[in-house]
Structure 1
Amino acid sequence: MAPESEKHVPRRQARGTQRRDRIVSAAAELILRDGPAAVTHRSVAAQADVPLAATTYYFTGLDDLLGAAGEQIVRGWAERAQAIGHSVTELVAEGGVETLSTRSRALLLVDAVLPPGDHGELLGFYEHVVSAGRSPVLAAAFAQGRGELDVVIDELLAQLGARFSAVLLIAVVDGAAVTALCEGRAVRDLAVECVTELLGGA
């Protein structure tokens, strides 16, 4: 029979993993809300509601924490696209994809790429994602995780019968978003219009 002290090890490890995950999530939220410069040990500890020492216990430094947060952000993008892919898979199984109009396909693709939220939330998102380029560690995490996102988007494009790549789709949606944001236009409307044209629709 295992000693009593050993029984508590898995429980302590689970608590440690949960706390570390909470810290990473807090850092990711700060990056997307206030930008990478807002990530400090103190701000992350306050956001995660953990002792300040916890942020240095689980991470070797801010770069380590920023890298983990960047990976989580990109993973969230891929998961959102995957959710759209699952709904399209169901349509394929039911033989309903062919009934989708070009605009409906464009809507699905834009939803897979563009984050949710209103104009203000989208403005904040793009402001802070672009500012990630000032952090080499965060930029590297985004670049590394981008491969996973591209695979998911490429699968979705294939399901919808599109003949272009994830790289092109994301570039078009991001470009439309930035244009709309700086001109005070509706982001999703312009993105759908551009992707509809990309799909060959009128």
Structure 2
Amino acid sequence: MQILQAGDFILDKIKNELPEHFHYHNADHALDVYTAAKQIAAGEGISGYDLDLLLTAAYYHDSGFLFGQANHEESSCKNARQYLPQFGYTSDEIERVCDIIMATKMPQNPHNHLGQIICDADLDYLGRNDFFILSKRLFSELVITDHLESELEWDRQQVKFLHSHHYFTQTALRLRDEGKNEHLKIITTKI
């Protein structure tokens, strides 16, 4: 498996072909999830072969946005199946990558440890210091894709989402849960 080459390939494709209105679900997000997945995996004791599959899934998990927002996880798996063989991935490895990708479909429902890690990595920003910057990017994207009409409506959606969200891994809980709860308090005072 040539992970870095496979990652560079899909990141380049996203940078060059993704519609401009995806202010959040873009190459920066893929790299962000890759970095968070690596950090959480280290905390969870994941290494070697499993880490390789996880990090590949992180690179590819939202590449389906190249085809649009609807069912983007399935489209991400289509990309993985199309492009990963040229980077030395077997069909079994690709199906494992797709299984990890599909864990990120909302509502998140991972059925193994690698799925839990990618779910936590995908929403790592909820508890980070750059939450409000990334939240603003996501809002500007949703104004176009979901016809979101106001920041107040967005704040209400975020409060509902943050209330219902939970991290799966002990590492993410330790690193991000407190920050996420602080962000929830700040948004709640605004509405």
Give the TM-score taking structure 2 as reference length: 0.35
Report which of the two has the higher share of helix: 1
| Higher radius of gyration, 1 or 2 | 1
What TM-score results when the alignment is normalised by the length of structure 1?
Answer: 0.34
